[in-house]
Amino acid sequence: MKVLPTPPILDDGQVRLRLAGIDDVPAIVRYYSDNRAALKPFEPNRGDAFYTEPFWQARVVSNRSQFDQGTGACLFLFEPDDKTVVGTINISNVVGYPLHGALLGYSLARSHWGRGRMHQALTMALGWAFDHFNLHRIAANHLPDNERSARVLASLGFVREGYAANYLLIDGAWRDHVLNALTAKQWQARDYTRELVINGTGMPASD
């Protein structure tokens, strides 16, 4: 029988990161509803259903399935009370051999901008993700005029690697993006006798 991975709970006393459960759905809907206008310039257009509990009840189940399969981890930032959602960090598109890479996305409540919260949260999340998924590389891209993201990523060691024109459909328009990546300084395969690995875990595939 397959042993499912243990969901992370990352906490530094000021920021708490974890996967969401069904009981968290009202707090998630409140987060996105309260920050709808603030996040709109940085995200794809969202239909009204996105801001409803039925949508997030299904999404929470899907997120847990992706985590169990080793293909991603959609983490939510909670206040220390573990009830109020103030942001998200999404490690997605996790793949193993030969890339051992993933994509990083994140958002933060407008009321928390400029307080260092995302830097704190990403420091915890990146360290966990590199280890848990045995990643060599995490990519993170941002709009050219999103100076806050540029500063946060640079402070975490991300290196600018390029520029992609018309990269993503954001807020109803095709927008250019700056391409960045962070790589593990010391990476080792978790199995030296097998070439194939499953997903991003670095573990050998079964025969």
Entry pTM: 0.90
Q: What is the pLDDT of residue 11?
A: 96
pLDDT above 90: percentage of residues in the chain: 85
What distances in angstroms separate CA 178 from CA 16, 58, 100, 147, one per listed residue?
29, 32, 21, 11
Q: What is the pLDDT of residue 191?
A: 57
Enumerate the β-bridge partners of residue 164. 177
Q: What is the pLDDT of residue 200?
A: 45
From edge to edge, which strands make up the β-sheet containing 159-170? 9-11, 16-19, 73-78, 85-95, 101-108, 137-142, 173-183, 159-170
Mind listing the pLDDT tens digit for each residue in 78-89?
999 999 999 999
Please determine, for residue 101, whether its predicted confidence score (pLDDT) is greater than 70: yes
What average pLDDT score do residues 146-158 get? 97
Phi/psi for 33 (5° steps) reads -70, -45
Identify the DSSP state of 157: T
- Structural tokens at position 117: 């919260």
Contact 136, 144 (CB under 8 A): no
Q: Is 137 helix (H, G, I), strand (E, B) or coil?
A: strand
Please determine, for residue 203, whether its predicted confidence score (pLDDT) is greater than 70: no
Dist CA 65 CA 141 (whole Å): 25
Dist CA 100 CA 135 (whole Å): 5
Dist CA 106 CA 141 (whole Å): 10
Q: Is 66 helix (H, G, I), strand (E, B) or coil?
A: helix
C-alpha count within 13 angstroms, C-beta hemisphere, residue 122: 21
H-assigned helices in the chain: 25-34, 36-39, 53-69, 117-132, 147-155
Contact 132, 30 (CB under 8 A): no
Identify the DSSP state of 11: E
Q: What is the pLDDT of residue 189?
A: 82
